[in-house]
Amino acid sequence: MNVIRGWLKEKKEKLHFTLIDPDKQKPEKAAKIASICSSYGTDAIMIGGSTYKGDATPAIQQTIGLIKGVIDLPIITFPHSHTSLTENTDYVFFMSLLNSRNRRFLIEEQVLGSSVVRDFGIHPIAMGYIIVSTSKKKTAVEKLADLDVIKDDDIDKLLSYALTAQYYGMHCIYLEAGSGAEKPIPNEMVMAVHENLSIPLIIGGGIRDGKTARDKVEHGADVIVTGTIAEEKLDKVKEIIEAVKGYKL
């Protein structure tokens, strides 16, 4: 079953996910952010980030545990590696960073994590993860991943990767500008992927206000992800969620 598509049909509206990086704040603060975003109407909490200093597992497990104590929303692990997987998560984006040249991000971490997903009973959501370079300065994920760079005007190259994900049978596409990106994914790129694919489209990175979020859903985004802004300006998250929810399917 395509979980994301099921949520879209059930709610009959576009979705908003809040991304919380356990490396950027203590579990107690993460739980407070999740609680506030839940009250604003976010649909799920993503836990993860591009990097983690040391062993990520204890902090991720504690963060998820505290969040589950204050809200009743799906928790989706957004893994930086197989060590991000914990028994108390609900879902995992079982993703391949398609435009990385590094086997680790294409298949190796997935192989290491597959039996853990099975043993813990985590529900995998197969995802094609694609980074679009929208900033002059490289984001954390761009520095880490050894990318086949997709510039923010190279629609044909992006479509080739996005179609590959769909033809592989992945459940969704995530177009990512990166944490703290200077600019979001251009509307033209969002629209081109939406028009050529039939699986849900997730957009994240560089979305800092309601107008930008509304632009993305109007051009075909099914899910908007906000991360950095949730850690810095929670009032803006409310504005973004209201803009997303104001667009009905």
Burial class from Cβ neighbours inside 10 Å (0-12, 13-18, 19+) for residue 195 reads: exposed
**Whether residue 69 has pLDDT greater than 90:** yes
Q: What is the pLDDT of residue 188?
A: 98
Mean pLDDT of 209-215: 96
Pick from 123, 95, 110, 129: which is nearest to 201 by CA? Answer: 129
- Average pLDDT on 157-175 reads 98
CA distance linking residue 246 with residue 244, whole number of Å: 5
Confidence of residue 238 (pLDDT cuts 50, 70, 90): very high
Mean pLDDT of 107-120: 97
Report whether pLDDT(248) > 80: no
- Domain of 76, CATH number, reads 3.20.20.390
pLDDT digits (tens, 9 = 90+) for 142-154: 888 889 999 999 9
- Top-confidence range, 77-81, 131-135, 169-173, 229-233: 169-173
Torsion sign, CA atoms 178, 179, 183, 184: positive
Which DSSP string do the residues of 57-91 spell out, in sequence order?
HHHHHHHHHHHHTT--S-EEEE-SSGGG--TT-SE
Q: Say whether pLDDT at 96 is over 90.
A: yes
pTM of the model: 0.95
* Residue 151 CA to its chain's centroid (Å): 20
User: How many domains is the chain partitioned into structurally?
Assistant: 1
Structural domain span for residue 113: 3-245
Predicted confidence at residue 52, as pLDDT, reads: 60
How is residue 208 annotated by DSSP? -
Higher pLDDT, 49 or 106: 106
